[in-house]
């Protein structure tokens, strides 16, 4: 299932870039952070940006990976037509209500944020790091659940 998700994401993001790198560099970084959380976490990690950044729809993800994976991926989708501020506000409102099995999406969200922050730090992208810092309080309030993925949160706090 992990290889299937990797291949699916690689095909979906084939022409996209993450800065100077192929977009899969970001997706692989997220999936690597999710390895301790198991197969489903890695699958959602590979797919986390597919709905948002490609023409692939939720029905295709559900057909390939099942309803639970599709629901978690859908929880992570931002509306690209809105401003970043409005997208993040809507994401926080959506994610703060997540419970039960769908909390998997929260683990992936934390890993995504950590991967983005690590990449920004490596690139010395101070502007982007300041943006993440400005968003921190709302992000933490929406996504953090004690005991869910504390090791990711410890890394985020550094």
pLDDT at residue 157, rounded to an integer: 87
Given a cut of 90, whether residue 48 has pLDDT beyond it is yes
Find out whether 1 and 43 touch, Cβ atoms under 8 Å.
yes
Is the pTM for the entire model greater than 0.85? yes
Per-residue pLDDT for 158 more than 80?
no
Q: In this model, does residue 137 exceed pLDDT 80?
A: yes
| pLDDT score, position 81 | 86
Helix (H, G, I), strand (E, B) or coil at 124: coil
Gap between the Cα atoms of 5 and 47, Å rounded? 7
Question: Would you list the DSSP string of 38-103?
Answer: -HHHHHHHHHTTHHHHSS--HHHHHHHH-HHHHHHHHHT---TTS-HHHHHHHHHHHHTT--GGGG
Please state, rounded to an integer, the average pLDDT across all residues of the chain. Answer: 96
The alpha carbon torsion through 23, 44, 96, 56 (nearest 10 deg) reads 60
Confidence check: pLDDT of 144 > 80 = yes
Q: What is the pLDDT of residue 80?
A: 84
Joined together, the tokens standing for residue 81 give 């037509």
89-96: Cβ within 8 A, 24+ apart: 89/138, 91/142, 92/138, 92/139, 92/141, 92/142, 92/143, 93/142, 95/142, 95/143, 96/141, 96/142, 96/143
Per-residue pLDDT tens over the stretch 62-118: 999 999 999 999 999 998 889 999 999 999 999 999 999 999 999 999 999 999 999
């Amino acid at each position: 299932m992990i290889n299937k998700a990797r291949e699916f994401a690689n095909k979906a993001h084939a022409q996209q870039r993450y800065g100077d790198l192929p977009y899969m560099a970001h997706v692989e970084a997220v999936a690597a952070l999710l390895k301790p959380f198991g197969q489903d976490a890695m699958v959602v990690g590979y797919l986390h940006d597919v709905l948002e950044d490609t023409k692939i729809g939720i029905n295709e993800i559900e057909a390939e990976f099942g309803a639970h994976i599709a629901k978690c991926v859908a929880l992570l989708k931002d509306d690209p037509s809105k401003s970043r501020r409005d997208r993040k506000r809507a994401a926080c409102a959506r994610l703060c209500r997540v419970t039960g099995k769908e909390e998997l999406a929260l683990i992936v969200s934390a890993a995504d944020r950590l991967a983005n922050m690590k990449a920004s730090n490596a690139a010395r992208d101070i502007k982007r790091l300041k943006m993440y810092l400005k968003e921190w309080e709302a992000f933490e309030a929406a996504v953090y659940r004690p005991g869910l993925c504390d090791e990711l949160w410890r890394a985020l706090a550094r």
